[in-house]
Amino acid sequence: MKKAIKLIRIIFFITFFALFSFSQVNDENYHVKIPEFPSMPKIDGKLENPIWENATVLDTFTQYEPREGSEPSEKTVAYLGYDKKNLYIAVRCFDSNPKAIRASLTQRDKVHGDDEVTIYLDTFNDKKRAFAFQVNPCGVQSDGIYTEIRRMGRRGGGGGWGGGGFDRIDKNWDAFFLANAHMDDKGYTVELAIPFKSLRFPNSQPQTWGLQIMRRIRRKNEEIYWHPRSRDINGFLIQAGTLEIDGFIEKGRNFEVMPVVTGLKQSDEKFNPEASLNLKYGLTSDLTADITFNPDFSQIEADMPQIDVNQRYALYYPEKRPFFLEGKDLFDTPFDLVYTRKIVNPQWGTKLTGKIGKTTLGFLSAYDENPPEIEIFYSLDDSEDSEEEESPRRGLINVFRIKRDLYSESHIGFILTDKEMGPSWSSITNNYNRVAGIDGHFKFKNYYRFSFQVLGSQSKVGNEKTGFVPAMNFSLSRRSRHLSFSADFNSIPADFEAATGFFRRKDIRSLSTRIGYTFLPQNDLIVDIRPSFEYRRIYDFENTLTDEQFNLSGFISGWRGSFIWSTFSSSLERYEGTNFRKKTFRANFSSSPFAWLNGNISFSFGDSIYYDENPYLGYKASYGFRVFLKPLTNFRVYYNFNNDKFYESKGGEKVYTINIISQRISYQISRTLSLRLITDYNDYYKKLYNSILLSYEYRPGTVFYIGVDDNQEKDDLGIFRKEGRYYFIKFSYWWRI
């Protein structure tokens, strides 16, 4: 109890110190008041409508990469206006060599390696979260949610939070907006009409939003921004300008209905159609309720294969289901407490998300017909009833999240997760797992960030009930133009259980530190050079040293998006009571030398443990490559190959070999119609997976899919035998009322 009181005192001291140590950028030169248009301009990408002559013009763009602060190599001009229903943005991208513009016709959100324009709208102007709208020179749309802070440690291990960066856009969020583009002999133009109904913003007038506009010229490895971006400032959204809307705009209160029909037919079985319904209602302009019944969570996108042989810890698979993805960032904390892949077969779900003033709210509830068991820490003398394990299970999962902004880029929050489980709805509370805790993130003294999370869990399974079990994470980091460092501490007892989350490892007290330095040549060949050193030390709760690791790494980025990364590790790992000392080397090289080619090569070799009842230290060599080809504007081919070899010792007898080959081929017939082929083969399990999908995507939520999945296995004679073939269709229509 004394330790807990001391810990709370430390947290409040750091919070108090942070509150009086922050600084905030206030740049009046990049505050723009945009005019109201009398009518809607035609969104055709040609900038020919005379209405654009009334727009606010922004042309003070500055280069960030490769030469920070320099004039852009190509001119860019942006035009802004609005009416009661939409925000209008046009960007004229001049190019001295228009034939070299990188552009492809592909599916929405599948743009990779193209020139592009991205609009960031921080509608609450809180420097924490922004809507991002991206358009390439072919008019293909991408959108997502940008979050300023994100988890930096390994999944399930906690870890600190980092600063801003362009690649922090979660493109799983989809919104309706109009966009088009047109290429000509002077470059290209993009035009956007973003409905206010697609956004969430404060219920106030006038509206003041954070605004950043970015243009990327791929062949020159060039990024330019309307508001200058600098490495001297720790954070991205804090470097945005602001736009002001004085007049009345249509609030985001709207009612949306999305019926969905799916059908699945297995070989020699009848076609089995199912219907589901998704509802969304904007309670206010900044608070939204979602309800789903018999939700369709069929995965149109298949998981990329991962090597699962001789792995000590569970693999992490990202969420792909739309209902759980929207607003997912609101539930993120230093520990991964909301891992929705554990909701296996939901029958209904409801969600409430939004922001009222400085308070962010999130609530998620789902009823699962096939939930994973709640794990409880038993002593060696305890045993579980095998009959109870096989009995049917029903689960009710609830998550409540609240965050309060303290000042720019900082917050304090509370989270509660609850999993109730039983054989039927009437006995749903027979077993449970409940986790509650507080967390916070503070930026201070320009370059420093401190985050923490303190949790407690309690579980009941059958007649067994745990007490209050604490877990905690603390992280301190500094990031500036040249010098960066971080320190992370995690404490996770063996009997701590978070049934709704993902924890790769428990029974640990770990301390991880990292220090790095950035050299900035900032020329056409090399943009930056980043050497770093990391040290990690882990004890279990019996105070036994289980892991110790030293990493010496180097990272170089430059010409046409190329980078080279390598690391040498020397480590100790304790397994089954034995200490193993290992030395390994890993390297990765990636480049996009041409518009039609992007490639990546990686390899590693060194000591490795064979995880078994009688473990031993062997030798492992791995390599892989990825190739992304675009021979035509609308034709893409992706190959991924991974090879793992394990030997009893260096130069000794081979224990196993694993080869995984993945292929993705897509052909975009039009902007809405596409054809895709997936092929995955794992020679260790001798499994072959093929999938063909025809997609018609009119807009987000209004789609039609028809496809075939085929699973085969190679027998001892080398002949592939069919294991199962599935035919499926999906149709959904999105009404916005």
Whose tokens are 């040498």? That residue is 568
CATH class of 30-245: mainly beta
Q: Assess contact for 275 and 718: CB atoms under 8 A.
A: no
Helices within 356-419 (DSSP H only): 386-390
- pLDDT value at position 300? 60
- pLDDT value at position 167? 53
Count CA atoms closer than 13 A to 129's CA, side-chain side.
Answer: 21
**Paired strand residues for 397:** 366, 419
Asked whether the predicted pLDDT for residue 26 surpasses 90, the reply is no
Q: What SS3 class is residue 126? A: coil
Asked whether the predicted pLDDT for residue 633 surpasses 60, the reply is yes
Q: How many CB atoms within 10 Å of residue 557?
A: 18
Question: Biggest alpha carbon distance in the chain?
Answer: 81
Q: How many CB atoms within 10 Å of residue 139?
A: 20
pLDDT in tens, 652-685: 999 999 999 999 999 999 999 999 999 999 999 9
pLDDT in tens, 264-279: 888 778 888 889 998 9
How does strand 255-266 pair with strand 720-732?
Answer: antiparallel
Token couple for 5: 């009181």
pLDDT band per the 50, 70, 90 thresholds, residue 715? confident
- pLDDT value at position 253? 64
Q: What SS3 class is residue 427? A: helix
| Range scoring the smallest mean pLDDT among 12-21, 49-58, 453-462 | 12-21
Asked whether the predicted pLDDT for residue 5 surpasses 50, the reply is no
What is the average pLDDT value for the chain, to the nearest integer?
88
Count CA atoms closer than 13 A to 596's CA, side-chain side.
Answer: 6
Rg (CA), the chain: 27
> Measured in Å, how far apart are the chain's first and last C-alpha atoms?
55
| Range scoring the smallest mean pLDDT among 334-338, 406-410, 633-637, 727-731 | 406-410
pLDDT band per the 50, 70, 90 thresholds, residue 384? very low
Residues 91-103: what's their mean pLDDT?
Answer: 96
Residues 64-71: what's their mean pLDDT?
Answer: 94
237 φ, ψ (degrees, to nearest 5): -70, -25
**Paired strand residues for 460:** 432, 465
Asked whether the predicted pLDDT for residue 17 surpasses 70, the reply is no
- pLDDT value at position 302? 61
- Please tell me the distance from the alpha carbon of residue 119 to that of residue 92, in angstroms, as a whole number: 13
Single pTM value for the model = 0.87
> CA of 578: how far to CAs of 144, 509, 510, in Å?
47, 19, 19
How is the chain split into domains, by residue range?
30-245, 319-506
Q: What SS3 class is residue 443? A: strand
pLDDT in tens, 513-538: 999 999 999 988 999 999 999 999 99
pLDDT band per the 50, 70, 90 thresholds, residue 174? confident
Burial string for 56-92 (b: 16+ CB within 10 Å, else e) reads eebeebbbbbbbbeeebebbbbbbbbbbeebbbbbbb
Please name which of 579, 577, 529 lies closest in space to residue 555, comparing C-alpha atoms.
529
**Paired strand residues for 277:** 259, 293
Residues 6+ apart with CB under 8 A from 2: none
- Please tell me the distance from the alpha carbon of residue 568 to that of residue 603, in angstroms, as a whole number: 12
- Please tell me the distance from the alpha carbon of residue 191 to that of residue 93, in angstroms, as a whole number: 11
- pLDDT value at position 309? 75
The amino acid at residue 479 is R
- pLDDT value at position 164? 34
Whose tokens are 């960032």? That residue is 329
The amino acid at residue 287 is L
pLDDT in tens, 224-269: 999 999 999 988 999 999 999 998 998 766 788 989 998 888 877 8
Residues 6+ apart with CB under 8 A from 196: 85, 86, 87, 249, 250, 251, 252
pLDDT band per the 50, 70, 90 thresholds, residue 134? very high
